[in-house]
Structure 1
């Protein structure tokens, strides 16, 4: 058990509980936070701190505190490097070295120790920028053995593990993609389901079509896995409709949407997870978050860390992109990166700093959460507590 802790003299506290403060962020000025046994037990104005609230006191010195970021979309189990691909794309030169399949080949050759070291490095990197909860997908193994290995290694670092055998069709099945679909929903699923909570499909032209996506996700549901869907990244398609139909926790990317897609998301509990790092790294159009917000869709922001199209773990960077290029307000972006991510993972214990929530706390070297988008690229995370224990700073 961690000792009780009073985080005092907080200039601006984001609780994400409208019952505790102003607006959707539940913003409390001149605030304090009491932590006990890894949980928040009290949050509110300093003037109302309970008597004998905690044995230890930390002085926030008027700085802002926000919940730990919840990154609900990441691909961290991989090996190899795709710098040449990125450089060619940014230089306007054609590049045909293989994309995802390049990473698949490198990942298959890597040892467990090499893959583990890379996941550890990326999780630590994310933590330094304030991410205290991260989801992790497979998808760079694409054999029964290598997908199960990827999930087993991911589970060493997070409970939020996603089976993504349906990332792309590997080269050995290029002439018979339907046989690969049967492998993914049959023997590969049997080997991977014990290590995962979620199942995902890249529903996109060049990857998996609507019928294949529905069949794979349905098989995963039968094994107790909850669907997530890569949908609408490269163009409109059936991904969003399938996500809503099957009760997916999230539809991710959603850069290209029809009016029917927006209406379907708005009338469902499926979260639309936006991944602006991918648009930044590919010079693609950004999704119109304002269109979704105005329709009543719940949004999450995630980093989509992967070696090909979004090699970042930095959620503050994604917050700044969302405000600058996706028509979100600073408050909406911070909510999406915390509470929105929690909704996308169907979690109620993270993404908020209210009684009963985990004490995943981020201290900013700034007086307000607005500085996350006001000062892009500046390392504003001064200190991080995970389950009430200091882990950064």
Structure 2
């Protein structure tokens, strides 16, 4: 689709020289253009710049393209959410109540709750039911500004049900709404029926991964490497099995303890290591020599009442950081990246510029999409959102809970158009 946006108050995250990511002190730099225009042609960003430059363009460049005057409003590239569990069955609000009463995440999991609870429900749910509920969630997050997303399996924990989840993800991809990356996470937990955990790991390595690869259902292979879940040695074995089938690692690490997950992820060239509530000097040293993106999930820390990730320490050490939602029924039942932006600023003490970089260019890298998503650059996909009339980009994380998005544009076509702030009934 084709579209021209004119009189943009501020065009955010512009890029003229390609970047893989931004790191350290550079994360506080956010390139923008004030009083700007943006042209999307055939679903891709074709041109952008100041309004003065727009008036000097040859009219043949934009003749016949619809123009939208967005005076007073800002334009951002859509968010890239690089860590979600969007395909699941049911909800887990009883566990939410149990935690309020004092039970820990580990205690709930040991009693058959947590991931095993979700797995039981998913095993009892048809592929079609999963698809319909996941499609609703996908539309929800696009309406909140997400323009690319990663979706994991991990609530199946049997060959049949892990494949079922990934087939749902494949069907979501076929909708061609936004770019979707699929991650195989058979190593999310050990099912109760496997008292010999090695037997389940053998199943992952010898049956699940080969079948996932044979059907072309996943881009990445994930493991929950943490206390009470999978050890670094088990994680290493599973990641290497995935690599043998072309599945690059992308893992959960250091959420509940200093698990060694970061180091095993780096050793296997993981595209990202995610969660990272427990990060010390050894973990930072490992990340500094790697091309692995540290990805923080403050929504899960917020919901579970865990310590927040040491974002400032990591940025000051020169690392890049990505942020993602971790949308799932147990530890973060929200796919709102605007909420994650606010949590990053309020709880992780990230500057608005740092947080915006973390949910755009850096999170695009964390799902292998930095060449096509995450910034306003010629040739990148024309997924952007237009804000309400807000005073600055810092207002977005500041006004937590408020809907600051006016329109979401996917590949040059309006996907979501907000209702007027004042309904006619009041006028």
Same fold (TM over 0.5): yes
3-state secondary structure, aligned to 2:250: strand
**1:25 alignment partner, one of 27, 30, 34:** 30
1:93, distance to aligned residue in structure 2 (A): 5.2
Question: What does the per-residue CA deviation read over 1:47-76, in whole Å, with 9 as the maximum and x for residues that have no partner?
Answer: 101232422101112211111000000001
Aligned mate of 2:152, from 106, 124, 137: 137
Q: Any idea what SS the aligned residue of 1:356 has?
A: coil
Counterpart for residue 101 of structure 1: 116
- Name the CA distance, whole Å, in 1 between partners of 2:112 and 2:167: 29
Tell me the equivalent position of 1:280: 302
Distance 2:48 2:405 in 1: 21
Q: Is the 8 A contact 2:279 2:310 kept in 1?
A: no
2:247 equivalent to 1:225: yes
Q: 2:93 maps to what in 1?
A: 83
Contact 1:66 1:369 in 2 (8 A): no
Q: Which runs of 5+ in 2 are unaligned?
A: 19-25, 174-179, 418-427
What SS is found at the alignment partner of 2:212? Answer: helix
Residue 84 of structure 2 corresponds to 74
May I ask how many residue pairs the two structures share in their alignment? Answer: 389
Aligned residue for 2:200?
A: 180
Check 1:210–1:93 CA distance in 2 against 1; reply closer, same or farther (3 A cut). closer
Q: For the Cα contact (< 8 Å) 2:3–2:413, is it kept in 1?
A: no
The alignment status of 1:38 with 2:43, answered yes or no, reads yes
Q: Which runs of 5+ in 1 are unaligned?
A: none
Q: What SS does structure 2 have at the residue aligned with 1:243?
A: helix
How many angstroms does 1:186 deviate by? 1.1
| Inter-CA distance 232–93: structure 2 relative to 1 (3 Å threshold) | closer
Contact 1:85 1:97 in 2 (8 A): no
Report if aligned partners of 1:168, 1:208 keep a CA contact under 8 Å in 2.
yes
Which residue, out of 112, 119, 129, partners 2:127? 112
Worse-matched range after superposition: 254-263 or 365-374? 365-374
Corresponding residue for 1:344?
366
SS at match of 1:155: helix
RMSD of Structure 2 on Structure 1 (CA): 1.6
What does residue 11 of structure 1 align with?
9
C-alpha contact 1:16 1:335 (8 A) present in aligned 2: no
- Where do residues 291-370 of structure 1 align in structure 2 (5 Å cutoff)? 291-347=313-369, 348-365=371-388, 366-370=390-394
CA distance in 1, matches of 2:101, 2:401: 23
Q: Secondary structure at the match of 2:291?
A: coil
Q: Deviations over 1:11-56 (max 9, x none)?
A: 0111342659x97422111111111011111111111012324221
Q: How far 1:91 sits from its partner (Å)? A: 3.9
Given the alignment of the two structures, is residue 170 of structure 1 paired with residue 194 of structure 2, yes or no?
no
Tell me the distance in 2 between the aligned counterparts of 1:200 and 1:313. Answer: 20
1:192 aligns with 212
